[in-house]
Amino acid sequence: MRTKRRFATGMLAGAFALLPLCQQAAEEAAAPEWKAGAATVKITPHRLMPMAGYASRKDNPAEGTEQDLFAKALAVEDAEGHRAVIVTTDLSGISEALRTVVEQQVATESGIPPHALLMNASHTHCGPAYSREDTRDYFDFLAGEIPRLVAAALANLEPAHLSYCEAKCGFAMNRRTPTPQGYRNHPNPEGPVDHTVPVLRVDNAAGELKTVLFGYSCHNTTMSFMRWLGDYAGYAQEYLEADHPGLTAMFVNNCSGDQNPYPRGMLYFAQRHGRSLATAVEAALETNQRERFHQHRLGSPLRSVLETVDLEFTEASGREPFAYPVQVLRFGDGLALIGLGNEVVVDYSLRLKAELGGRGPAIWVAGYTNSYSGYVPSKRVLEEGGYEAESRPWKPDLEERITGKVHELFDRLNP
């Protein structure tokens, strides 16, 4: 009998506010409603081991390091003392095994319940295959380092202002091209995309920028060589931190299942895409502008919920239902960060933002969150066929099951 994994629900209460940042001096002088702290740990493997991302690599180990890999954590606490932690990683995905051991240790050692811990992977295809038996040592390393990382971020909590802002970046392109032979993996300039770059900024009480959490909907697959690399997301974080000494820059991969970076295949393209994304973050932050009109100050309360919904496979497949995790972190009436497991296609971001976006907070939809076991297509993609549709024999109601659960949890946190 299959054991279903269920997550507890947490709802955190307090006052809420959404304030546009038009009068910077007055707002910077206001007492911070939040505390925030960040921490970073290098997770580049200490030995050469098999790489994740492409089945054709088989058992061939990495050949070296092009760029170090990192895990980072942002801890936030509202005025009532309720906390949440967001963990980002330069990994291909968050396995259920890794999520389970980390959430247990974090709950025991740091007092953060599972519903208040969000774990996201950048989905770099130049990271380690850490779920194999012959890489168990690296799995154990991650299982120890990430809880310590969370504890370090919590130890760094200090008074802070939280704000939300957005920009656009254009190198992602839909990769599903219709042909007489079916949908092919090829750049399709007419396909759906989400070029939004959501940014959560953290300033200390003195108004100094301390942390930026930013996202994008694009596979982290500019490169496929045999070297450790954070790809475009790694370079974007590297450039932002170099341009803002003391800053912690954190990348969240959004709904990228059918989105690729183009052009690709050359290292300088990964670097250029990283610079493009970093520049978009700067635009969202309104860097060097005399006044900031497009930031939105986030107020209390901080609330969180994490549950699963059973996704069913076709009867012919003989597979048991999959307990799919859906998470919502809500920052007052200003921002709802929705975490979806696995590799969801961009339709989920576009749909949920359209359906929920007019109901109060800004909507940020992230895939690759808390689980990773393959593609989750939309109903449209399932009906069209192609690689993303054929990787798993899902029943066609999976989109309605997922979006229905998101609506349920969003409404539960709605003040």
Give the rounded percent of residues in the chain with a pLDDT score beyond 90. 87
pLDDT in tens, 99-122: 999 999 999 999 999 999 999 999
| Bridge partners for 303 per DSSP | 330
Residue 124 in this model has a pLDDT that exceeds 90: yes
Write the pLDDT tens digit of every residue in 309-347: 999 999 888 899 999 999 999 999 999 999 999 999 999
pLDDT given at position 391: 86
Task: Tell whether the model's pLDDT for residue 9 goes beyond 60.
Answer: no
pLDDT reported for residue 299: 95
Phi, psi of 271 (to 5 degrees): -65, -40
Range with the poorest average pLDDT among 14-28, 124-138, 144-158? 14-28
Residue 30: predicted pLDDT: 77
Residue 346: what pLDDT?
Answer: 98
Per-residue confidence (pLDDT) for residue 413, from 0 to 100: 94
**Would you say how long the chain is, in residues?**
415
Banded model confidence at residue 27, pLDDT cuts 50, 70, 90:
low
Q: Inform me whether the pLDDT recorded for 24 exceeds 90.
A: no
Q: For residue 117, which amino acid is it?
A: L
CB atoms within 10 A of CB 320: 12
Q: Return the SS3 of 334.
A: coil
Task: List, for residues 214-239, the tens digit of each pLDDT value.
Answer: 999 999 999 999 999 999 999 999 99
CA 263/CA 26 separation, integer angstroms: 45
pLDDT value at residue 53: 86
The gap from C-alpha 181 to its chain's centroid, in whole angstroms, comes to 34
Give the integer Cα–Cα distance in Å for 166 and 183.
32
Whether the Cβ atoms of residue 63 and residue 227 lie closer than 8 Å to each other: yes
Q: Cβ distance 300 to 332 under 8 Å?
A: yes
Which residues lie closer than 8 Å to 10 by C-beta, 6 or more apart? 113, 115, 116, 303, 304, 305
Q: What per-residue confidence (pLDDT) applies to 414?
A: 85
The pLDDT tens digits of the residues spanning 262-319 come to 999 999 999 999 999 999 999 999 999 999 999 999 999 999 999 999 999 998 888 9
